[in-house]
Amino acid sequence: MLQDRFVEVQDLPRHAADPDTEVTIAGWVETTRVHARVAFLVVRDGTGLVQCVLPRGEVDEATWELGTGDLPQESTVEVRGRPKADARAPGGVELLITGLTLVHRAETYPIQPKEHGVEFLMDHRHLWLRSSQQRAGLRVRAEVMQGIHDFFHDRGFTRIDTPILTGAIGESAGTLFSTEYFDETAYLAQTGQLYVEAACPAFRKVYCFGPTFRAEKSKTRRHLTEFWMVEPEVAFADSDDNMRLQEEMVSYVVARALDRCAEELKVLERDTSGLEKVAPPFPRMSYTEAVEFLQSKGSEIEWGRDLGGADETVLAAESELPTFIYNYPKAAKAFYMKENPDDPRTVLCNDLLAPEGYGEIIGGSQREDDFHRLQTRIREEGLPEEPYQWYLDLRRYGSFPHSGFGLGIERTVAWITGRPHVREMIPFPRLMNRLNP
């Protein structure tokens, strides 16, 4: 079996205790350095990097020739050797080579240890993934996603997988991808929310977690056309409960990344001092207060307009913690949000703005649970009514107060890792001008 034939680099320290053990690793050559009497091969196997030492005279001549000859970057090798503890080596272990097998001699690798333009790197995304900072960022992403699953699983939420092909518009008509669906038109899901709402009376606390699609004609560092979103939905939770769940989840996820991705954050040169302070409660500001605050800073924003990216940056700069902005004007938000009984010009909703200029990472709300008000909102938005009949059924058969939110994974990971652009936070980004690789 494969596991028996090859040891993983991350497990080498365990094998280094016994000076007579020989192990074989399999991986890709990152660099080679050849001197007169000794050569060094740095090999990456996907679990770590190890420096392999090739001493002339202690291996047969063919092995020396292979290790010091034409061995381009990213060639695939199997290396047999004795692991030796060495505090100076990356990972704390060196491998003293006793045998070397070339599995594949790579062609000249396009990504060289020098500055490349980002379009070049994006064109080579399938190879760029192997670079240390990309590996680190995507590991943090994987840990964040697993952390989110664990957070909800531990709290008794049931995961509900929602469809990607849908018949009803989830968020707004302006950013829909549509596709032929036999004799109909299908939309790629902008959100799983309407479906998790339907699952609430069956399971009470639910969440979906999957790719969502927005035909956003925005070339900003915060926008992807395909991004991943986690969307919990909770029966009998109001807007305040909803914000409490958000600050708990975000704090949990940040702590988890700090705890389990310390190495990766170091590779990314992330200053983690701000992240270490992330804990509930987060500051809260109403939309109306936010507008007044922005005006006091010289902004020309008027009450009723949605906040833009620049406004969000100004608001978030007030705190090292993420900041809630709640109860936006109805006209600035989606049709499903519950009217605020204390001020019917607004809805019971919130955005959560990340610190350090990363912008909105969460949008959430209490849902309109009144049949007539929801139907009126659907009509006011000019949405076709037929595809929403099932959604209206939820207000016909046992309507209930409920709330939920959506957290965008790439924006959250960009913030945690301190990287400027969401495009590096997903393995294969889809952008307005990019469908390949």
Looking only at residues 347 through 366 of this chain, which bind Mg ion when binding is defined by CB under 5 A? Answer: 363
- Residue number with the smallest Cβ distance to Mg ion: 363
Backbone CA torsion sign across 112, 113, 119, 124: positive
Least distance from C-beta 421 to ligand 4AD, angstroms? 11
In the complex with ligand 4AD, the residue whose CB is nearer, 47 or 175, is 175
Binding site for ligand 4AD (CB under 6 A): 171, 191, 193, 214, 216, 223-224, 227, 229, 231, 360-365, 404-406, 408, 410-411, 422
Burial bucket for residue 246 (CB in 10 Å: 0-12, 13-18, 19+): buried
Q: Which does 362 bind (CB under 5 to 8 A by kind): ligand 4AD, Mg ion, none?
A: ligand 4AD
Angle, vertex CA 310, rays to CA 257 and CA 211, nearest 5: 45
Q: Are 366 and 349 in contact (CB under 8 A)?
A: yes
Residue 404 found at the interface with Mg ion (CB under 5 A)? no
In the complex with ligand 4AD, the residue whose CB is nearer, 322 or 406, is 406
Least distance from C-beta 289 to ligand 4AD, angstroms? 20
In the complex with ligand 4AD, the residue whose CB is nearer, 63 or 340, is 340
Q: How far is CA 141 from CA 98, 118, 260, 358, 359, in A?
A: 37, 20, 12, 16, 18
Alpha carbons 31 and 157: distance in angstroms, whole number: 47
Residue 408 found at the interface with Mg ion (CB under 5 A)? no
Q: Which does 324 bind (CB under 5 to 8 A by kind): Mg ion, ligand 4AD, none?
A: none
Q: State the DSSP code for 329.
A: B
Alpha carbons 64 and 288: distance in angstroms, whole number: 72
Least distance from C-beta 309 to ligand 4AD, angstroms? 12
Residue 378, C-beta contacts closer than 8 angstroms, at least 6 positions apart: 335, 385, 388, 392
Least distance from C-beta 72 to Mg ion, angstroms? 47
Residue 105, C-beta contacts closer than 8 angstroms, at least 6 positions apart: 70, 71, 72, 75
Residue 136, C-beta contacts closer than 8 angstroms, at least 6 positions apart: 261, 263, 264, 265, 267, 268, 417
Q: Which does 171 bind (CB under 5 to 8 A by kind): ligand 4AD, Mg ion, none?
A: ligand 4AD
State whether residue 274 is helix, strand or coil: coil
Least distance from C-beta 213 to ligand 4AD, angstroms? 9
In the complex with Mg ion, the residue whose CB is nearer, 27 or 363, is 363
Number of residues that bind Mg ion (CB under 5 A): 1
Q: Rule CB under 5 A: which residues touch Mg ion? A: 363
